[in-house]
Structure 1
Amino acid sequence: MTAFKQVIKNRRSIYALGNNSEYSIEEIVSSIRETQKDVPSAFNSQTTRLVILNGEANTKFWDLILEVQENVLDQATWDFMSPIMHGAKNGIGTVLFFEDRDAVAKMPTVGQRTEAYKQNNSANSQYGVWLALAEMNLGGSLQHFNIGYEQGFDKAIREMFNLPDSYELIAQMPFGSIEQAAGDKEYIDSDVQVQLIK
């Protein structure tokens, strides 16, 4: 197996995060920056913006998420999700994935295509970051709390960190040392997942 395929295999959703790593936060940020340079985007539009939270900023962010979500989630969902949110506070940090709506508006496309390209840009970025973290033996998971630009759900986050009004929150990736390995993963048949037609 190539190193590339091994990194892909190692990338799993990890919820039990710690703050133990041989890498400093500066080294992690540097790796993420290098990865992002070559992440593809529609029309090379480069609309995705990453904000990496560490230390007190990370704690403040997840305290806000916990406060909001406790008031909106039903009890069963809260019981399932709150350990993930609390666990995120134990990690090294969180990557916030934003799309800069001003940059998105400059793409040479309209309507549903713009939305699709925006989401593709962000997804490419998310996967690139996840692989970069996995290469450093760090775990993470992809979360979608308090998203909703039109509804104002992410406004408090922009205000908390003094971010531009044009930033639309798409996802969050808490990351840290892997304190508990991911469980077994079920795979669908590869012939169903990937089909060859000649």
Structure 2
Amino acid sequence: MTTFVDLAEKRRSIYALGTDSNYSKKDIENRIREVVKQVPSAFNSQTTRVVVLFDNANEKFWNHIYDVQQNVLEGDMWDMMSGIITGAKNGIGTVLFFEDKEAVEGMPAQGVRQEAYKQNNNANAQYAVWLALAEMDLGASLQHFNVGYEQGFDKGTKEMFHLPESYEMLAQMPFGSVEQQAGEKEHIDTDVQVKVFEN
């Protein structure tokens, strides 16, 4: 078993994905279920919803994203992001991260505080799942295509998989075998990131 710091270092954004894995789809599903269950949330509100896509469902989703985004992104941005979208189909699957608006509204918080708790809840799940995939020697990246509950941008995805209207999509995480390692990562000085006081 890796140490936590080793695992955190191993987790990188991987865009060149494949389908080679020592784990079955059921193994991956079960690990994601276990991890999401243990993720902390504000007031134990458990507002995060996760959808795991494999095979045809994964390809269908990314084809949909491609069709939508080619009418949204332009120029250099489209050139860069279209490759990420196409590459996402080459992996084993994708984890979609949602917040259930009904559950969010049930938290004992309103306004900006409710929004902050919602984002924190989902971010906890995103990072936990990403670490779990890394521990299984699977690469992944975090994407934010086709999000926008208020604008209805995620409506097509919800219709495609018959998901509740209350689901708000916050991110997508395509994953698979690591076909190309991430490059060197530069870090700012930890003294800039972390301050310590005793008095």
Give the TM-score, by structure 2 length.
0.98
Count of residues in correspondence between the two structures: 197
Runs of 4+ in 1 over 2 A off after TM superposition: none
Q: Distance in 2 between matches of 1:4 and 1:150?
A: 37
Query: Hey, what does 1:11 align to over in structure 2?
Result: 11
Query: Hey, what does 1:39 align to over in structure 2?
Result: 39
**1:45 is aligned with what amino acid?**
S
Structure 2 residue 94 is the aligned partner of structure 1 residue 103: no
Q: Which runs of 5+ in 1 are unaligned?
A: none
Q: Which runs of 5+ in 2 are unaligned?
A: none
**2:170 is aligned with what amino acid?**
I
Quote how far apart the aligned CAs of 1:50 are. 0.3
Give CA-to-partner distance per residue, 1:81-138, whole Å, 9 cap, x none: 1111111000000000000001101100000000000000000000000000000000
Query: Hey, what does 2:119 align to over in structure 1?
Result: 119
1:176 partner SS? strand
Query: Hey, what does 1:180 align to over in structure 2?
Result: 180
Q: Distance in 1 between matches of 2:151 and 2:36?
A: 29
Query: Hey, what does 1:29 align to over in structure 2?
Result: 29
Quote how far apart the aligned CAs of 1:38 are. 1.1
1:123 partner SS? helix
Q: Distance in 1 between matches of 2:137 and 2:79?
A: 29
Structure 2 residue 57 is the aligned partner of structure 1 residue 68: no
Give CA-to-partner distance per residue, 1:135-189, whole Å, 9 cap, x none: 0000000000010000000000000000000000000000000000001101001
Q: Distance in 2 between matches of 1:43 and 1:160?
A: 32
**1:67 is aligned with what amino acid?**
D
1:171 partner SS? strand
Identity of aligned residues (%): 65
Quote how far apart the aligned CAs of 1:75 are. 1.1
Quote how far apart the aligned CAs of 1:37 are. 1.5
Query: Hey, what does 1:57 align to over in structure 2?
Result: 57
Task: Using the TM superposition, name which of 2-11 and 151-160 deviates more.
Answer: 2-11
**1:189 is aligned with what amino acid?**
D
Query: Hey, what does 2:90 align to over in structure 1?
Result: 90
**1:19 is aligned with what amino acid?**
T
Query: Hey, what does 2:167 align to over in structure 1?
Result: 167
Give the TM-score, by structure 1 length.
0.98
**1:22 is aligned with what amino acid?**
N
Query: Hey, what does 1:77 align to over in structure 2?
Result: 77
Q: Distance in 2 between matches of 1:187 and 1:5?
A: 15
Quote how far apart the aligned CAs of 1:54 are. 0.3
1:114 partner SS? helix
2:71 partner SS? helix
